[in-house]
Chains A and B, each alone.
Chain A
Amino acid sequence: MPSAPSGPAIEARALRRVYKAKPSPVVALDGVDLEVPAGELFGLLGPNGAGKTTLIKILTTLLLPTAGTARVAGFDVVTETVRIRRIMNMVAGGEQSGYGILTVREQLWMFSQFYGLGTREGWRRTDELLDLVGLGEQRLQRVSSLSTGQRQKLNVARSLVNDPWILFLDEPTLGLDVGAARDIRGHFRSWREAVPGRTALLTTHYMAEADELCDRVAIVDRGRILALGTPSELKRRVQEESLFRIALDQLPGGPATLVGLPGVRSAALGAAGAGAAAPDGVTVSLVLADDGALAAVIAALTAAGARIRGLAKSEPTLEDVFVELVGRGLDEADEAPPPAEEG
């Protein structure tokens, strides 16, 4: 009979991580407080350089925090690393790791050995997982010959080899086509639903992915959590305002041209994933105090020489929430901290 105390699956308190760098230190995490209950699929949404990957690295025991504490399944990430490693696994997007000389089946079996599965059990689990992720036909192919999507599916299979309680997913669909990304999201969803108590922490900068998968989402920027709630709770924050998307042939001066206008709360270029990008042009997402502010926007655009190709009032998305909180679009922030300290 287990008698361990229960508690949140993932917990961070005043978590801070600073990288030494020139000319000045980079603060990747700046006092993050977070509590993810067991059974939740929790999303961290933010642009590159927001601190998402740093947080995942700390939680997966690869990086020590500069200050603060973090626990996974109640185990301290600094001192109880081995226990954490027994019950978690991770998937990172855009990875090419692995042994190209091995076949798909051999590589997965090798990882089953790292988690202590018996020889035969390892092969059986390997075959089952390969079928699960749709790589059954590729099982005898060399890893080096897999496509990017297939490699990521193999990565997903690897992450399930130890039957983890907690999965850390760091941009797992990065660089994948729509079909492969949908498959991978489907695997995580069914993995989570199969057993109560399975928990996942997902970082992404794809709004739709976070919206589709996550029970709750934290919006992070520059190492801080700006807002936290369910996707619908977050979207309600901007529901009182009017949201418009305007497709233009061009936008001289960028969204900043519109920000100072009366009634304009924020303006940002449409992001990939928002489904708003116009071919050969730009799409601007606007948060207005009310519909009446639109006239001034249209006048300003006309004066700036922009031609309006389309205009639609839209339902709020997580991107709108991000724009409202941060004051800029996801694609407009692109500063990554250094991966390691200098010197």
Chain B
Amino acid sequence: MTARVVDRHGHRPGMPGEHAPPAHRITASWRSLTTGARLGWAIESNWADPFLFAVYSVARPVGAALILVAIVWIVSGGARPDYLAFLVVGSACWTFVGGGMSGFVWAVLDDRERYRMLKYIVVSAARFLPFLLGRASAQLLAAAAGFLVTLLVGVVFLGVRIDVGRVDWPLFGASMALGLGAVVALGLAVAGLCLTIRREAWNYPEAIAGGLYLLSGTIFPLDVLPAAIRPLALVLPTTWWLEGVRRALLGVPTPGVLGSIPDAGVLLALCATTAVLTLGSWAVFRVFERIARERGLIDQTTGS
């Protein structure tokens, strides 16, 4: 039975604390975020062997980068150092996309189906969205380790030239901040979707990351994409994020479509696309959250 609850003023109920004064909401959000982060870290790290946790945090991104290095090696015999650098930076950044989205999705699915705590979190005074963000932060942190190690492997073993003294740090900082914002927004949207679908959704972040991998020019310049889908790449914040980071670290723009755009243009495009994505993701999350509550799916268990 589905019941639509409406109070005597005709309002439908919101999340606990939704109508609280702004100061209380900020405090509650901060508390929810930190609690979620502590829990996420405990689950992701403390219950595993620390060595194994550290290894797995870096083995995936390094493994992914090595696949590409092997491809370059077999085709060009190591004669394309520029392309190698392009690949290493793209692969390093990409650890955040899979990890960031997985953090959100696993938080929803684990808490709903394994620990069966999601319903208690939703009905508690905690703010759900900041809690999820906190819960996902452990995987983002692990992704950061993967990012650094992949770059390190690139520099030390593969001869990628990143001169710390010549890195455009403001561009790097701004690109990373906005890019990670876009990753979090993506994670939020997928987490919302997962509130309404079965447990097998745990691998959806990977699948979505795989799709974006192609469209964002992660491992090849956008010019290689068929012309018909190139515009799609240009509306993705991940495309601009990767370009910003590459320019900041390697000092040169990617040749081709993006090559003629100035740094400020790249940042502006990243800013605009991230803002649109964030608003869209927030709306998607709210819509799916409402659907989940209307259909009574918050505490469903769906194993197969």
Interface on A for B, CB 8 Å cutoff?
96, 98-102, 144
Contact = CB atoms under 8 A, between A and B. Distances in A.
Task: Tell me whether chain A's interface is mostly helix, strand or loop, or mixed.
Answer: loop
A96 B300 CA distance: 10
A314 to B, nearest CB: 40
Contacts of B198: 100-101
B302 A100 contact: yes
Task: Tell me whether chain B's interface is mostly helix, strand or loop, or mixed.
Answer: loop
A109 to B, nearest CB: 15
A160 B180 CA distance: 54
B303 interface: yes
Nearest to A102: B304
Interface string B271-304: 0000000000000000000000000000011111
A144 B116 contact: no
Contacts of B304: 99, 101-102
A98 B304 CA distance: 9
Interface of B: 116, 198, 300-304
Nearest to B301: A100
Contacts of B302: 99-101, 144
B44 to A, nearest CB: 20
A98 B113 CA distance: 11
Nearest to B113: A100
A33 to B, nearest CB: 38
B116 A96 contact: yes
Contacts of A101: 198, 302-304
A268 B303 CA distance: 44
B257 to A, nearest CB: 44
A101 B302 CA distance: 5
A204 to B, nearest CB: 24
19 contacts: A96-B116, A96-B301, A98-B303, A99-B302, A99-B303, A99-B304, A100-B198, A100-B300, A100-B301, A100-B302, A100-B303, A101-B198, A101-B302, A101-B303, A101-B304, A102-B304, A144-B300, A144-B301, A144-B302
Nearest to B116: A96
B300 to A, nearest CB: 5
Nearest to B303: A99
B263 to A, nearest CB: 50
Nearest to B297: A144
A102 B301 CA distance: 11
Nearest to B300: A144
Give the residue among A96, A98, A101 with the most B Cβ atoms within 10 A.
Answer: A101
Contacts of A99: 302-304
A278 B303 CA distance: 43
A141 B304 CA distance: 16
A98 to B, nearest CB: 8
B290 to A, nearest CB: 19
B291 to A, nearest CB: 16
A327 B116 CA distance: 37
Given A100-B198, A101-B302, A144-B301, 7 more contacts: A99-B303, A100-B302, A101-B198, A101-B303, A101-B304, A144-B300, A144-B302
A98 B301 CA distance: 9
Contacts of B116: 96
A96 B116 CA distance: 10
A101 B303 CA distance: 7
Contacts of A144: 300-302
A110 B129 CA distance: 38
A102 B300 CA distance: 13
Contacts of A96: 116, 301
A145 B302 CA distance: 10
A148 to B, nearest CB: 12
Contacts of A100: 198, 300-303
A106 to B, nearest CB: 11
A144 to B, nearest CB: 5
Contacts of B301: 96, 98, 100, 144
Nearest to B198: A101
